[in-house]
A = this chain, B = another copy of it.
Amino acid sequence: MLTMTQTALGGAKVLEDPLEYLPCSMILEFKRGQPIYTQNQPSTNLCLVISGKVKISRVSDAGNSVLVDIYQADEFFGESCLTDSFYPETADALERTQVMTWTTGEIERLAAERPKLALALLQLVIQRSIDFGHRIECFAVDTIGRRLARALVRFSDRFGHQTESGASEMLSFTHELLSQYVGTSREIVTHYMNLFRREGYVQYSRRSVVVNADAIKQWLRQQSDVAMTAT
């Protein structure tokens, strides 16, 4: 077997930040719900969220929308412009959003001048494909309820701020959007969200939702233990 070093286990590796190697560029502004690019009109730009949130989705052959991910300030999207593959994704502003863009030509020229830029982008995309790997694992082995629970933990971790009780408060996503991430119907998401509310895992207020991520994680662990015992 290949051997490991302390660095890999200890996570002591220093990650490069692409922003350190990118010059400022044009900023575009999009209203809530406005498309940034679409499946039929793909972007040829690498994009950076300056403020707001961007929803990346795909539409299946049968017309179903699948939420790939949501990106926020300081996160990149549209990186598929750097390959020759036609990638049928759509980017929409989830709220009023500012985006900075660089053309593929600019990125290639800058990466040739500043090798650490390409390395930084490489690390970023590897991290993204690791996240996708986790998601594929969830789809392959988890029930809908567990997938929704993991989605709530992930979104509250990424988009929430901690409350005094140690829970995480974030802007409430619609059940429609959650269903497109989890791969089920809106009705089934509503069913599970009611269940989670009764168990105290989530509390809704007018525009936000408080997610008790620790309690959800414990529920996920307990369910795994049951499955382990049963096999």
Residues of A within 8 A of B (CB): 1-5, 7-9, 11-15, 28, 35-38, 41-45, 47, 58, 60-64, 66, 68, 78-87, 89, 101, 104, 108, 111-116, 118-119, 121-123, 125-130, 132-133, 135-137, 139-142, 180, 182-183, 220-221, 223-224, 227-228, 231
Selected contact of A4 from candidates B43, B119, B142, CB within 8 Å:
B43
- Which of A3, A62, A85, A231 is most buried by chain B, counting CB atoms within 10 A of its CB? A62
Contacts A112-B116, A115-B115 known; list 6 others, CB within 8 Å: A2-B36, A3-B41, A118-B119, A135-B136, A136-B136, A140-B180
In the complex, which residues of chain B have a beta carbon less than 8 angstroms from the beta carbon of A11?
A: 84-86
B136 lies within 8 A of A139 (CB): yes
B130 lies within 8 A of A64 (CB): no
List 25 A–B pairs whose Cβ atoms lie within 8 Å, in order of A's numbering.
A1-B37, A1-B41, A7-B104, A8-B44, A12-B84, A13-B83, A15-B83, A60-B140, A61-B221, A61-B224, A62-B224, A62-B231, A68-B136, A82-B123, A83-B130, A89-B133, A108-B119, A112-B115, A112-B119, A118-B119, A118-B121, A118-B122, A121-B122, A139-B183, A140-B182
| Copy count, this protein chain | 2
A231 lies within 8 A of B133 (CB): no
Q: Give the residue name and chain of the B residue nearest to A133 (CB).
A: B68
Given contacts A9-B86, A11-B86, A183-B141, contact A125 B136 (CB under 8 A): no
Complex CA–CA separation, A64 to B5 (angstroms): 27
8 smallest CB-CB distances across A and B, nearest first, come from: A140-B183, A118-B118, A139-B139, A62-B227, A132-B132, A61-B224, A13-B84, A129-B129
Complex CA–CA separation, A130 to B221 (angstroms): 30
Complex CA–CA separation, A87 to B62 (angstroms): 33
Given contacts A227-B62, A231-B63, contact A37 B2 (CB under 8 A): yes
